[in-house]
Amino acid sequence: MRILVTGGAGFIGSHLCERLVSEGNEVLCLDNFFTGRRENIFHLLDNPRFELLRHDVTEPILLEVDQIYNLACPASPVHYQYNPVKTVKTSVMGAINMLGLAKRVRARILQASTSEVYGDPLVHPQTEDYWGNVNPIGLRSCYDEGKRLAETLMTDYHRQNKVDIRIARIFNTYGPRMLENDGRVVSNFIVQALRGQPLTLYGEGQQTRSFCYVDDLLEGLIRLMNTENQHDPVNLGNPGEFTIRQLAEEVIKTCESKSSFTYMPLPADDPRQRKPDITRAQTVLGWNPTIPLREGLKKTVEDFKTRVSV
């Protein structure tokens, strides 16, 4: 198949391109390199089944493809808050442009949505039928509301134009190739632990997250894309729930580090708890994450050791 991956030079996108190429597909990787890096896809560049397009999803593009994974969008709060207006444009205009393309060439399209559509959730764990608790005017809104509108657009293009859509609500994902300076918790903690610096716990470190290793996520995304008639959103995440303090302890152990902790103010609208209910993914996709946090952290730390100067 000819498959377009937008955001293909980013963390998740580059792993996805690699896997799709290895399965014999022809892959078009589209990226504007805001948070993506050439290094992430360097090893694919001379593969005849891989093509790189420097392009911004906020601009229309004419291509012929069978499937589209729409991943283009900065995912770390530091990066998506750097230029919030651009973040909204990327989610909204990006979705419109990719849906227009999908409609024209009758491609199936999967939107990378997020657990952030649940905001600071009042239902725990989060099921897909929960509508969320999102601040429309806060610092995280450009990302959260942008993704919510992308879901709306997907659903309306499906209802109105019969576009064959898939919506993946991705929960916190980690693994090799995360940017060492992107401000997300797993990358921050690993870099700090490797350098022997104190780990920065925001608030009391009692907020919870569920961390999914990138290979597990890819399996879920590919299964979702290739399952017939699954037009409703599907949560993809690892239901193992950890406090940020527990994550910090686990990272220190994995890095065999002597780092201590330091406490910093909790960012505005930081969700207090998050854990996916993955019943739908289990039932419809037969999908279950298989890599526990400890094992995934080991693989991630190995990758960071080759990149981080200590």
- Where does this chain bind ligand UDP (CB under 6 A)? 77, 172, 184-185, 188, 200-202, 205, 207, 209, 244, 267, 270
Q: Per rule CB under 6 A, is residue 146 in the interface with ligand NAD?
A: no
Nearer to ligand NAD, 126 or 173 (CB): 173
Q: Is 24 left (phi over 0), alpha (psi -120 to 50) or beta?
A: left
Vertex 171, ends 220 and 108: CA angle to 5°? Answer: 45
Encoded one letter per residue, x for contact with ligand NAD by CB under 6 A and - for no contact, window 16-55 reads: ---------------xxxxxx-------------------
In b/e form, how buried is each residue of 283-308, taking b as 16+ CB within 10 angstroms?
A: eebebebebebeebbebbbeebeeeb
CA distance 89 to 146: 8
In whole angstroms, the minimum distance from the beta carbon of 188 to ligand UDP comes to: 4
CA dihedral 199→295→111→281, nearest 10 degrees, is -130
Q: Per rule CB under 6 A, is residue 153 in the interface with ligand NAD?
A: no
Catalytic site residue from 69, 143, 174, 213: 143
Nearer to ligand UDP, 31 or 120 (CB): 120
Residue 202 binding partner per list ligand UDP, ligand NAD, none, with a CB distance cut-off of 5 to 8 Å that depends on partner kind: ligand UDP
In whole angstroms, the minimum distance from the beta carbon of 164 to ligand NAD comes to: 20
Is 176:306 a contact under the CB 8 Å cutoff?
no
- Counted residue by residue, the chain has a size of 310
In whole angstroms, the minimum distance from the beta carbon of 79 to ligand NAD comes to: 6
Cα dihedral sign, 97-101-102-103: positive
CA distance 95 to 56: 12
Nearer to ligand UDP, 163 or 247 (CB): 247
In whole angstroms, the minimum distance from the beta carbon of 82 to ligand NAD comes to: 11
CA distance 160 to 225: 20
Grouping H, G, I as helix, E, B as strand and the rest as coil, residue 28 is strand
Grouping H, G, I as helix, E, B as strand and the rest as coil, residue 45 is coil
Is 115:238 a contact under the CB 8 Å cutoff?
no
Residue 201 binding partner per list ligand NAD, ligand UDP, none, with a CB distance cut-off of 5 to 8 Å that depends on partner kind: ligand UDP
Provide the token pair at 140. Answer: 């995280």
Residue 35 binding partner per list ligand UDP, ligand NAD, none, with a CB distance cut-off of 5 to 8 Å that depends on partner kind: ligand NAD
Provide the token pair at 293. Answer: 């946090």
Residue 4 binding partner per list ligand UDP, ligand NAD, none, with a CB distance cut-off of 5 to 8 Å that depends on partner kind: none
In whole angstroms, the minimum distance from the beta carbon of 26 to ligand NAD comes to: 20
Looking at 169-177, 190-198, 202-210, 246-254, which segment touches ligand NAD (CB under 6 A)? Answer: 169-177
Residue 82 annotated among the catalytic residues of the structure: no
CA distance 220 to 215: 9
CA distance 273 to 256: 28
CA distance 94 to 86: 11
In whole angstroms, the minimum distance from the beta carbon of 76 to ligand UDP comes to: 6
Nearer to ligand NAD, 14 or 259 (CB): 14
Encoded one letter per residue, x for contact with ligand NAD by CB under 6 A and - for no contact, window 173-192 reads: x-------------------
Catalog residues that contact ligand NAD under the rule CB under 6 A. Answer: 6-7, 9-13, 31-36, 56-58, 71-75, 90, 94, 112, 114, 170, 172-173
Which residues are identified as catalytic?
A: 143
